[in-house]
Amino acid sequence: MTTHGISRLPWPASTAEHRWYGLGRYYAMFPAPFVTNALTEFTRPDDMVMDPFSGRGNAPFLAAAMGRPSISIDILPIAWLFTVAKLKPSQNADDVLSRLHDIRRAVRPHDCRARSEFEKMAWSSIVRGFLRAARRELNWKESSVDQTLMAFIALHMQDSTPSGLSNRLSPTVAHSPSYAVQWWAKQGLLDPPQTDPVAFLTKRIQRRYAFGVPNLAHSTTKLGDARTELKVMPSQYVRLLITSPPYHGVTDYWNDQWIRLWLLGADMHKDWKRTQKHSHLGSYRKLIDGVFTQAKRHVREDGVVIVRCGDKPTTADTCREAIKSMWPRWEIFERRSEITRRGKASGYGHESKTIYEVDIISAPEELSDRARSWAVNPAL
Ligand SMILES: C[S@@+](CC[C@H](N)C(=O)[O-])C[C@H]1O[C@@H](n2cnc3c(N)ncnc32)[C@H](O)[C@@H]1O
């Protein structure tokens, strides 16, 4: 079974690297050992690492914490926020705590009003007011202090414990408002917890900063479409491109995150027009081809490309073909593995499900032996 790998991080629990790695609930993320193993096998300190579909930022964070500069991109604001908050956190907790108090002072009476049954049952009026003030006041795209605070709020606005900021919610996948309301009613969870958001977040912020901030190599992380970002970026000299693209027709990254995206400025409902499920095969191929076409310019001739993707042929074939057409002279090796993941739950419990994934590795001839032996090892 693959876990998020937090217990298998290369740093002791009493380090900032260990403490900050876990910031951000996100699914389909890389297990830490998968990334640290690839970094150890194929890079040295100061080698550039790139992840153009970086999710909550596991690969760039682990690379930077192991002394490798990183470039990462994600199109989803919440994924980028968790990444930037880890890679460039505010340097001290006091600034974040002081901003937390600013937000409390900025709450206006009408911020506390529930606009729907969902809002009424999800958060107490004090939490609702706090979330609305944070949504209005925090400059999460530009200010490092505001980014850090916003990441803490986003992490806890959707809590699964009865003493958190919200009524019980799945902490990763946001269900529809009507499903949530019916589910709470059925469980008798009619009232949200009366938690003080400032006291609650103060504890979490202090805990995260208990060992300071991680010592990281230089990292660049962009919010946007990887096709565009890679095109406009000056040429890099990437030793390892390690990534996991969206799988064809599997996850709707936008609608599954709608509650946190509301905090970042989107409307308070799922929006099917904004779906990011990548169900249309033609557009999916265009996305994967487009990203690898742009990535090619940045990868060194003695670089390595590693892609973890779903084993469904429409996903794996698309990824394999894109790599082959960009690096036609490189050899490709693959391994298929069974992964047990905490799946998307129908209720708010965490059901496990088994899925199959493929790791594709491509490297120039001089690295073929190492790439081949990497691919015959069991997946991490
Ligand atoms: C499988 S997840 C990656 C998870 C990541 N490996 C981690 O450890 O968290 C795929 C990611 O690709 C992002 N994505 C989808 N389309 C994109 C695009 N055009 N440009 C950049 N990122 C994109 C999604 O938002 C999602 O976060």
Confidence (pLDDT) at 354: 79
108, 133 Cβ separation under 8 angstroms: yes
C-alpha of residue 124 to centroid of ligand 1, in Å:
33
Question: What are the distances in angstroms from CA 142 to CA 138, 147, 150, 223?
Answer: 9, 7, 12, 11
- Overall average pLDDT of the 328-353 stretch: 74
Structural domain spans, the chain: 6-77+215-376, 93-208
Question: What does the alpha-carbon distance between residue 124 and residue 93 come to, in Å, rounded to a whole number?
Answer: 26
Closest among 145, 42, 167, 26 to 95, alpha carbons compared: 145
Task: Kindly give the number of the ligand 1 atom that is closest to the alpha carbon of 58.
Answer: 8
Q: What is the model's pTM?
A: 0.94
Residue 2, pLDDT > 70, answer no
Here the tokens at position 246 are 């969206």
Residue 342 has pLDDT above 90, yes or no: no
Q: What are phi and psi of 89, to 5 degrees?
A: -70, 155
pLDDT single digits (tens) 55-89? 999 999 999 999 999 999 999 999 999 999 999 99
Length of the chain: 380
Q: How far apart are CA 89 and CA 98, in angstroms?
A: 15
pLDDT score of 47 more than 60: yes
Residue type for 317, please?
D
Return the amino acid letter for 202: T
- Angle at CA 185, nearest 5°, toward 184 and 186? 90
Q: Say if ligand 1 is within 6 A of residue 253 CB.
A: yes
Question: How remote is the CA of residue 249 from the centroid of ligand 1, in Å?
Answer: 14
pLDDT score at 104: 98
Measured distance CA(184)–CA(180) in Å, rounded: 6
> Beta partners for 360?
307, 334
Find residue 49's DSSP bridge partners.
70, 240
C-alpha dihedral sign at 345, 350, 355, 360: positive
Residue 265 CA to ligand 1 center (angstroms) comes to 20
- Give the chain's largest Cα–Cα span: 66
Residue 54 alpha carbon to ligand 1 centre in Å: 5
Fold of 6-77+215-376: Rossmann fold (3.40.50)
Is the C-beta atom of 31 inside 6 A of ligand 1?
A: no
Q: Is the CB of 73 under 6 A from ligand 1?
A: yes
pLDDT of residue 277: 87
**Collapsing DSSP states into helix, strand and coil, what is residue 165?**
coil
For residue 313, give the nearest of 267, 358, 373 by alpha carbon.
358
Q: Is the CB of 58 under 6 A from ligand 1?
A: yes
Distance in angstroms (rounded) separating the CA atoms of residues 220 and 88: 9
Query: Alpha-carbon distance 55 to 62, whole Å?
Result: 13
Whether residue 328 has pLDDT greater than 70: yes
What is d(CA 72, CA 252) in angstroms, rounded to the nearest whole number?
21
Residue 121's SS3 state is: helix
Q: Which of 54, 256, 287 for a ligand 1 pocket mutation test, highest count of atoms within 8 Å of Cβ?
A: 54
Question: Could you tell me the pLDDT band of residue 350, with boundaries at 50, 70 and 90?
Answer: low
